[in-house]
Chains A and B, each alone.
Chain A
Amino acid sequence: MALLQIAEPGMSTAPHQHRLAVGIDLGTTNSLVATVRNGVPVVLLDEQGRALLPSVVRYAADGKIEVGQTAQAVQARDARNTIVSVKRFMGRGLRDVAHVETMPYDFVASDGMVRLRTVQGVKSPVEISAEILKVLKSRAEASLGGEMAGVVITVPAYFDDAQRQATKDAATLAGLNVYRLLNEPTAAAIAYGLDNAAEGVYAVYDLGGGTFDFSILRLSRGVFEVLATSGDAQLGGDDFDQRVYCWMLDHARISLPSLEDSRRMLAKAREIKESLTYRDEANMLLQLTNRDRIDLMLTREELAGMTRHLVAKTMQPVKKALRDASLKREDVKGVVMVGGATRMPHVQHAVAEFFGMEPLNNLDPDKVVALGAAIQANVLAGNRKTDEDWLLLDVIPLSLGLETMGGLVERVIPRNSTIPAARAQEFTTYKDGQTAMSFHVVQGERELVSDCRSLARFELRGIPPMVAGAARIRVTFQVDADGLLAVSAREQSSGVEAKIEVKPSYGLGQDEIARMLRDGFDHASDDLQARALSEQRVEAGRLIDATEVALAADGDLLSDAERAAVDATVSRLRDLAQGADHCAIKAGVEELNRATTEFAARRMDKSVRQALAGRSVDSLKV
């Protein structure tokens, strides 16, 4: 006799399906992709066996786009078209970027996000980052042998809305489904397994190639909270190389090396610095272009001595973050080391000395963020059995507000609010018969609009004419789990859902992203069709599966008529997905989403009531 299978409420009745999910560390200097394979997080390698993809993109004159090592190799020859560390430009205006004048790029003057003019035309940082993501995507698909269900991409904890949105837009351009943007320090903490064992305050010390970031996290029963972040955007491992390079010039009595020699010496300096992590002394032998030879010996002590001031410099942001979080150094239970430069023993010592304990350093500091992102991606894909206590809460790093009269900021969602968060604020008209209102959304902690960051401007139209002060316009800010803001507005007394148009100050409009997507396929419109069809089919399949699982578990929440309506929509979508019309499939997906909106809310409601019912017994006894 066949036994009936009875699923636990909330558990999938569908056969377990492993979804391919990866974590991506989209770094300033290097980028990586990782996944969880047989329960173990691993970094995925390219065909040459390399894990790190230099975050360098070159637009070549012949129309080719090179990314990574190949682009890096020709950087000196084609500096204008070879963009290094594009992350610095994400969601930033020209005036925000430090040292613009020393950069070899041809910046385009414009109001919003910076643009760079290359031999292949004007490029936005979003498009450039998308090229890096595309390479990582194909690396992952080649390695995992299938289509990616979703990705987790890491961002610095201090990234504001514009920078996060730019990152997500880059993923959209690269054809990636983003499960979540994850804060880098949180990812590092996950990689160290702090999410399931540890309680207390942890710090993440991240010394990368060109930037230093320090964050303090509080962990309590699986809840992550970023308490404070600080850093130095102009300090990193490259500065250590520079010191060794200057020392070489001094000791070899070279005053003006040629460009080529200078490049070779810098490379040698880096090599020596790295080798001194494992050895007490290193010999540097280098033949220069004029046949002169450099033959020098450097000890680990000497390296530590000549770069001591750089290490000391990292301690300023450390102290600032502790102050911001109102914590003492003794309160920190562990320090996670991230970034290749933290391999240097004297950096480790300095951190150990300051906090009075050995830092956590048994994972590769270059890979730790990607590994944590992979673990989180695996969870979000639904591949890991979720235990009840599992939860990862983030906060928004900066307050969100609206400009009011006199250039002042009305704070709507304060910084450090747990996300997702929604808050509404009511406004009224100040003139009789006023039918439109304009709003200015800003982010930051200062009182004056001019001291905060402009995020977007939008206009509300279609307010029914009334006497001044009679209209009640409710503006709702909704921040999702990625820290991204959506604004909606409606006039309360008439119920008119006024139309709003948001113009991001430092971002790309939806139409602009659509255009970039099209442009990317200009030369191969068949490709575009094929890709759109495949994407819509994947989406339809995912949605049908999810709906069926939900119906099997909670079908009783629907009346017969409601159930029949959902069933009909599902089978309609199933038929559409057999066809080749991607627009029709998309419409079918949207229809099913609409048809299940109420069902989803009821299920959510039920699960909340179940959670309460399970626990209210003990509280009633009190």
Chain B
Amino acid sequence: MSKPRFEDFFELFGLPRAFRIDDGVLAARYRELAAQVHPDRFAHLGEADRRAAVSYASDVNEAYRTLGSTLARAQYLLHLAGQDAALESNTAMDTSFLMEQMEWREAVSEARAAQDVDELDHLRLRLHDRMDLGLDQLGDEIDDQRDYAAAADSVRRLMFLDKLGREIDAALEQLDT
């Protein structure tokens, strides 16, 4: 029974349940809450207090991790809306996106094979632009249209792009050393 009594991470941070949130407010709230519940404040107290602090602080950290990342935030909102993003099993995507995926993959592996740092940098910028577009759209789908099925689709695409971004970063790092 030592679980905190808040509805969801948004309520914990005193924020409206939405995709578009103010990062500055989120960070400020996090600091306040973390300072309030950090086990260091309870180090000299009894075990009950220390346990409650560890549990609460873990939730606050997890909440910040979830709300602080756009993709994790979107997935969390879909989960709250009862929309199963089913990220692994539901890979039915439209053909245009499958084509786009293939093009991206090809471009990245060619640049990597050629050890072309400039091209990889360029791809990374293009990818980030593409992701920004996708995130804007995701905001519309979740906050305005409340079309969670479409949003789940967008999340899956963005996750692919995110993964690709990390692969480009890894390739760049390898060429760097």
Spell out A's residues near B (CB within 8 Å).
19, 149-150, 179-180, 221, 223, 323, 379-382, 386, 388-393, 417-423, 478-481, 542-543, 546-547, 550, 592-594, 596-601, 603-605, 607-608, 611-612, 615-616, 619, 622
User: Which residues of chain B are within 8 angstroms of A478 by Cβ–Cβ distance?
Assistant: 54, 58
Interface membership of chain B positions 36-80, coded 1 if the CB is closer than 8 angstroms to chain A and 0 otherwise: 111111011111110111111111011011000000000000000
Q: Are A389 and B54 in contact (CB under 8 A)?
A: no
User: Which residues of chain A are within 8 angstroms of B35 by Cβ–Cβ distance?
Assistant: 388-391
Instruction: Give the Cβ gap from A392 to chain B, nearest Cβ, in Å.
Output: 6
Asked whether B33 is an interface residue with its Cβ less than 8 Å from the other chain, the reply is: yes
Q: Are B1 and A179 in contact (CB under 8 A)?
A: no
User: Which residues of chain A are within 8 angstroms of B46 by Cβ–Cβ distance?
Assistant: 542-543, 546-547, 592-593, 596, 600
**Given A600-B48, A619-B25, A421:B61 Cβ within 8 A:** yes
Q: How many positions in chain B have a CB within 8 Å of any CB in the partner chain?
A: 47
Q: Are A149 and B1 in contact (CB under 8 A)?
A: no
Instruction: Give the Cβ gap from A387 to chain B, nearest Cβ, in Å.
Output: 9
User: Which residues of chain B are within 8 angstroms of A391 by Cβ–Cβ distance?
Assistant: 31, 34-35, 38, 40
Q: Are A612 and B14 in contact (CB under 8 A)?
A: yes
Residue of A nearest to B1 (CB): A598
Give bound CA distance, A419 to B34, whole Å: 10
Instruction: Give the Cβ gap from A273 to chain B, nearest Cβ, in Å.
Output: 34
Q: Are A615 and B32 in contact (CB under 8 A)?
A: yes
Asked whether B29 is an interface residue with its Cβ less than 8 Å from the other chain, the reply is: yes
Q: Are A604 and B43 in contact (CB under 8 A)?
A: no
Question: Could you count the A-B residue pairs with CB atoms below 8 Å apart for me: how many are there?
Answer: 144
**Given A223-B31, A604-B37, A608-B56, A150:B44 Cβ within 8 A:** yes
Q: Are A480 and B54 in contact (CB under 8 A)?
A: yes
Stretch at the interface among B2-10, B84-92, B115-123, B158-166: B2-10
**Given A478-B58, A598-B2, A600-B48, A611:B33 Cβ within 8 A:** yes
Give bound CA distance, A386 to B38, whole Å: 12
Q: Are A422 and B62 in contact (CB under 8 A)?
A: yes
Q: Are B54 and A608 in contact (CB under 8 A)?
A: no
**Given A420-B57, A422-B62, A601-B4, A380:B34 Cβ within 8 A:** no
Asked whether B177 is an interface residue with its Cβ less than 8 Å from the other chain, the reply is: yes
Q: Are A393 and B34 in contact (CB under 8 A)?
A: yes
Residue among B15, B45, B176 with the highest chain A CB neighbour number at 10 A: B45
User: Which residues of chain B are within 8 angstroms of A149 by Cβ–Cβ distance?
Assistant: 44
Which of B2, B12, B44, B58 touches A542 (beta carbons < 8 Å)? B44
Instruction: Give the Cβ gap from B45 to chain A, nearest Cβ, in Å.
Output: 4
